[in-house]
Amino acid sequence: MPLLINLRHVEDDGLELKGKLPASELELDGIDELIKAEKPLHYDLEVQKLEKSVLAQGDLSLTLRCECVRCLKPFDYQLELEDWACLLSLEGDDQVPITNDCIDLTPAIREDILLGFPQHPLCKPDCGGLAKKVIGKKKKTGDAGQEEIPSAWNELNKLKF
Ligand SMILES: [Zn+2]
């Protein structure tokens, strides 16, 4: 089940939403080969109906299974979105689909969870990596750049003589 908000239930004085959303609903697999979501997302949200929109705000938390980019060791990464807020429009061009009085909060959550993904997952900030192999990187010096200067001097020399 995706995370649906029944607009009828929000009408009066807001609605509290608390629970777990299966990671499969967020469709996070295959986004990043180093990051997997296996455990459910925990949400603790307050939903309010405004004039032409619905405001959801609260905390989201998801444990991600990551693989360290340096040593390839798997580790858990706690993704916390505190004071998360999302405004879902009920009118106009950016109106969210309403099905049986319900709107789906899942796409908005998914979007922000993706933004919260670690860019370069590290098991610890100073991870030393697998093996301390120094790979000699020979820098190729730009031939064109090196030749240009001497030739310029040559031209100057020619002028002098
Ligand atoms: Zn590591």
Q: For 59-68, 100-109, 148-157, which range has the lowest pLDDT when averaged over its residues?
A: 148-157
Is residue 122 within 8 A of residue 76, CB to CB? The reply is no
What is the Å distance from ligand 1's center to 50 Cα?
Answer: 46
What is the Å distance from ligand 1's center to 122 Cα?
Answer: 5
What is the Å distance from ligand 1's center to 34 Cα?
Answer: 12
| Partner residues linked to 60 by β-bridges | 43, 81
Buried b (16+ CB within 10 A) or exposed e, 125-141: eeeeeeeeeeeeeeeee
Residue 89: C-alpha distances to residues 6, 40, 60, 94, 123 (Å): 14, 26, 21, 6, 39
Report pTM: 0.76
What is the Å distance from ligand 1's center to 77 Cα?
Answer: 12
105 burial via Cβ count (<10 Å: 0-12, 13-18, 19+): buried
Residue 147's pLDDT is what?
47
What is the largest distance, in Å, between two alpha-carbon atoms of the chain?
94
Please name the residue that has the structure tokens 């200067």: 149
What is the Å distance from ligand 1's center to 21 Cα?
Answer: 29
pLDDT at 73 over 50: yes
What is the Å distance from ligand 1's center to 36 Cα?
Answer: 16
What is the Å distance from ligand 1's center to 75 Cα?
Answer: 9
What pLDDT, in 10s, does the model give residues 6-64?
999 897 778 999 999 999 999 998 899 999 999 999 999 999 999 899 999 999 999 99
Q: Which is nearest to 59 in space by CA: 5, 96, 113, 102?
A: 113
What pLDDT, in 10s, does the model give residues 113-152?
999 999 999 999 999 987 655 555 555 554 544 445 556 6
What is the Å distance from ligand 1's center to 114 Cα?
Answer: 22
What is the Å distance from ligand 1's center to 70 Cα?
Answer: 5
What is the Å distance from ligand 1's center to 130 Cα?
Answer: 8
What is the Å distance from ligand 1's center to 138 Cα?
Answer: 27
